[in-house]
Structure 1
Amino acid sequence: MAAALACLMFNSTPVPFGAAGTPTNSAAEIIKDVLPSIGVTDLSLFKQDLSFLSTIGMCVGSLVIIWLVIGVVCMKFGKNKSFSDVFPVVPFCLFTSIVFSCVSIPVAKVMGAELTSLVAAAVTIFATIGAAKAGFLMPKEIWRFPGTEIKKDAKKQDTQHSMSLLKAWTPYLLVTLWLIVTRVPQFGIKPLMGSFPITMTNIMGVEGASFTLKWLNNPGLFPFILVVFIGFAMYGLSGSQINNVLYKSYKQLVGATIALLFGFAMVYLFRYSNANVCGYDSMLVAMAKGMADLAGANYFYIAPVIGSVGAFMFGSNTVSNIMFAPLQFATADILSIPHIVIVALQNQGGAIGNMVCINNIVAVCATTGIVGAEGKILKTTVGPWFVYYLIVIGVMVLLMNLGIAG
């Protein structure tokens, strides 16, 4: 239960930049056709700005969520059942968050979403391991779960196969290297990544309904497949092991792939349903007008909730962004609210919605063998979700007042 709760609540800060930035890039890609209406002609620059605004709120939230999660674990599973048991480790938690934030914010601003979590997490891992070994900001007493026995036999023989640290990290390093080389303009490869696109125009005869997939430039597709096949040779996997890897990957991806395909299809229905003989607005415009009339000037505070509802329903920040980013953009247009601010709040809302997502809760309960505890977990994660919601709203208000957002 403790592991399930911790993983769910920590599955928030880096989510907009997971799978090499797929959620954030999907939010930008799905609205790229309407960006010229607000004077945006450079999609790459818009993605960088969206990444920057999204990561600031998430990083400020990380300053709180990391020790809040540990406090919840102490309160529910500790010997003293006290939230205050977390206080000795708060300084180290803040150090961890600051290191992560100091890397992720400039990377998001300069390079975009693809490398934000990858680079920040890699740097933070080594920084925190080094700090912990040096005893920097570490609590004097070690907190343990009740009944946990300290292993005295440290020389117990390890029956697992071992490999060098470099070899274990090589796949991550290769993915990161690929993304850096193909995203940084100075290497001269970035223009080539748009070659050989898969394009569909005027889908089902509807003018303007077009789709383009630049598969070479897709950060969640090409580098990972390439590195996987390199890994097969590098680690000397047998035929049966390769089949097992491919089968497990297929089982994990098939559901998400189907959801994404139909998610894109649903968005196109929403957007282009104005192609009707009655002259009705599209479903997207109709919903946007309804939201604008319902929330009015308070829509700013509703935007991240919609993102969280999308994650709650679909189990993915990416699908939430695909489904609701066009709605958020259209509503912002009607209410004259800065578009990028609302899309960033959608992105952040979808990220923190992972904490209360039913799909994630069911999956983590099945993984940890605590099926039937879903209700208890949801009741516990709602509180941290609300705290994170207040943080992203507060940060965005501050950024707008400072002239950084909007």
Structure 2
Amino acid sequence: MAQFQQLLDPAAGSLVFSAVLAAVPLTSLFVMLGILKWPAYRAALVSLAMSVVLAVAVWRMPVLQATSATLEGALYGVFPILWILINAIWLYRLTEVTGWFAVLGDKIRSISDDQRIQAILIAFCFGALLESLAGFGAPVAISAAMLMAAGMKPVKAAVVSLLANTAPVAFGAMAAPIITLSSVTGLDLHTLSQMAGRQTPFVAVFVPFILVFLVDGRRGLRETWAVALVAGVTFGLAQFVTSNFIAVEITDIVAAVVTVAAVLVAVRILKPASSTPTDIEEPEGISGPPPRDTGTTVVRPVSTEAPAKRSTLGALAPYLIIIGVFSISQLPVVKPWLAAHGSWIFHWPGLDIVDATGKPLSAQTFKLDHLKATGTLLLLSGLLVMGMYRISPREAVRVYRDTLVTLRYTIVTVSAVLALAFVMNLSGQTQSLGFALASAGGLFALLSPLIGWIGVAITGSDTSSNSLFGLLQATAADQAGLSQVLMAATNSSAGVLGKMLSPQNLAVAAAAVGMVGREGEIFRKLIGWSLGMLAVFTVFVYLQSTDVLGWMVP
């Protein structure tokens, strides 16, 4: 097999023209989702085909290597990402068929029947806790399901959960994005943690305000702004303190737990005007029609046990089990054992690729986690839930089968999107796009956030985006006379704003609320918020690159 070396400017020797062509699959995907209103699986397959054609015809990638890259990306979509999603949805449906999910909704409403407060507690706080432990779509799937249990409409639950899953992402999965960023750039982990911890809090402060607006429009802001302020400031401050002075790995855990406590106290003291689900406003375009009934899950009648027996602890047990299992996996004794025995690492067959400088690409090495995989830990959690709820193996298998049937289009979507990402990355399309943006010289500070945003929008993962663009950001910053730490951290901090629009995360949210095939509808609700937050954050980063806010750079 002949070695393939990536080309940065294969289209007429022009980096700019090459970058324009490289952007075609991604922009086409967004057009098909947002304007043409195609189902996500169809849009993803067409975009994948475009990328493969460009890889072979323009970037001169051998057909066999383009095929191998497609298969590698598809497998990565299945494992670990779909492995996480399938087991998370299966666990949720176990609670649904036993009636405990309805009980959970009652318990949530007993704390607060106000959906605006529920959005902050569940999507923002609990979602951040799940992000810190699991990531890869599990927080969106589970928080959206919990919001629906509390009475929120499906489209709104999906939109709220996706937007809330921004503030914690840079430090998610035990700070995997920052750790990866340090490894690919060679920059000090603690310094990068400090820098990210001086950027993401400014995102966190705004998110609760947007959530209450999405739930209840201007009235929501007017009546619950104080609680939203407490949530945003507490979360941001906790992120700053933990990432700068304690330990980067537990940043989101500390922020989520502290914010839950602060919000509960704030609700008791501030007593915002109560708005029940029936009188909540529906901001234009948020509610949407009800989801299609897939007919695949038969829900048993809710148990008629006495309310005292249907306890709060029983309703929260699946989520406590998830937290417990993931926490045990991080113990000093368990984590090294899983790292040593829980993965297979091998060179992906059919690939022999170097970048434009002749350096072999790390994406050719495939890491297949099995015991330590997030999806495996969720499966274990589900087995424990089966035992606690006394669900028979036969019924659990039936629910698992129905989950697979329901997610069939989501499986195609996620596999195709990750195949698209791998083809773009391995063929050199993504690098052409990134280097074109990085050639802006002193204006690079204005483009750096966009590069991070694109990276997460393509891959659906802040970790993957840092692996892809982290070194590029640091190198371009050095050439432009800017801080390498600032620009590298920006790749991660700004990247989180693209996660809500990533096709794979849209597919996760749509599947969680029973809206498979309507991902484009959710996309259109979020694109304005994503781009607006990116624009504001870009100004903030630019000021950090100047004397105005340069004192914030460690």
User: TM-score, length-normalised on structure 2?
Assistant: 0.52
AA in 1 matched with 2:171: F
How far 1:303 moved relative to its partner? 1.5
Q: Provide the C-alpha distance between the structure 2 equivalents of 1:266 and 1:111, rounded to a whole number of angstroms.
A: 38
Deviations 1:272-329 (A, max 9, x none): xxxxxxxxxx994x66653343x22222111211222233333333333333333333
- Equivalent residue, structure 2, for 1:337: 482
Alignment match of 1:140 (pick from 246, 253, 273):
273
Task: Check whether the contact 2:353–2:361 (CA below 8 A) recurs between aligned residues.
Answer: no
How far 1:362 moved relative to its partner? 4.6
Task: Check whether the contact 2:325–2:381 (CA below 8 A) recurs between aligned residues.
Answer: no
Alignment match of 2:167 (pick from 13, 18, 28):
13
Task: Check whether the contact 1:193–1:214 (CA below 8 A) recurs between aligned residues.
Answer: no
Q: Provide the C-alpha distance between the structure 2 equivalents of 1:74 and 1:147, rounded to a whole number of angstroms.
A: 6
- Equivalent residue, structure 2, for 1:403: 551
Instruction: Identify the structure with bigger relative contact order (alpha carbons < 8 Å, sequence gap 6+).
Output: 2
How far 1:92 moved relative to its partner? 0.7
Equivalences for residues 290-369 of structure 1 within 5 A: 290-293=436-439, 295-369=440-514
Q: Provide the C-alpha distance between the structure 2 equivalents of 1:240 and 1:126, rounded to a whole number of angstroms.
A: 40
Task: Check whether the contact 1:18–1:117 (CA below 8 A) recurs between aligned residues.
Answer: yes
Q: Provide the C-alpha distance between the structure 2 equivalents of 1:50 and 1:60, rounded to a whole number of angstroms.
A: 16
Task: Check whether the contact 1:103–1:120 (CA below 8 A) recurs between aligned residues.
Answer: yes
Task: Check whether the contact 2:177–2:462 (CA below 8 A) recurs between aligned residues.
Answer: yes
AA in 2 matched with 1:74: D
Deviations 1:60-95 (A, max 9, x none): 2222221123223323xxxxxxx2442120001111
SS at match of 1:74: helix
Task: Check whether the contact 2:413–2:504 (CA below 8 A) recurs between aligned residues.
Answer: no
- Equivalent residue, structure 1, for 2:326: 175
Structure 1 unaligned residues grouped into runs of 5+:
41-45, 76-82, 149-154, 183-187, 271-281
Q: Provide the C-alpha distance between the structure 2 equivalents of 1:144 and 1:246, rounded to a whole number of angstroms.
A: 32
1:94 aligns with 2:229: yes
SS at match of 1:56: coil
SS at match of 1:136: helix
Deviations 1:21-57 (A, max 9, x none): 333333334x24xx2xxxx4xxxxx333333322432
Q: Provide the C-alpha distance between the structure 2 equivalents of 1:164 and 1:223, rounded to a whole number of angstroms.
A: 24
* 1:141/1:396 CA distance change after superposition, 3 Å: same
Deviations 1:228-248 (A, max 9, x none): 547735862654467579876
Q: Provide the C-alpha distance between the structure 2 equivalents of 1:256 and 1:372, rounded to a whole number of angstroms.
A: 13
- Equivalent residue, structure 1, for 2:288: none
Deviations 1:168-200 (A, max 9, x none): 524414533653x43xxxxx9998887679777
Q: Provide the C-alpha distance between the structure 2 equivalents of 1:259 and 1:322, rounded to a whole number of angstroms.
A: 17
* 1:210/1:85 CA distance change after superposition, 3 Å: closer
SS at match of 2:270: coil
User: TM-score, length-normalised on structure 1?
Assistant: 0.68
How far 1:3 moved relative to its partner? 2.0
* 1:71/1:23 CA distance change after superposition, 3 Å: same
1:221 aligns with 2:367: no
SS at match of 1:93: helix
How far 1:141 moved relative to its partner? 3.7
How large is the Cα RMSD of the aligned pairs? Answer: 4.6
How far 1:351 moved relative to its partner? 0.8
AA in 2 matched with 1:100: F
1:120 aligns with 2:120: no
- Equivalent residue, structure 1, for 2:201: 59
AA in 2 matched with 1:221: K
Q: Provide the C-alpha distance between the structure 1 equivalents of 2:483 and 2:156, rounded to a whole number of angstroms.
A: 40
Identity %, equivalent residues: 20
- Equivalent residue, structure 2, for 1:275: none
Task: Check whether the contact 2:386–2:392 (CA below 8 A) recurs between aligned residues.
Answer: no
Deviations 1:82-132 (A, max 9, x none): x24421200011111222223222222345543222332233224323443
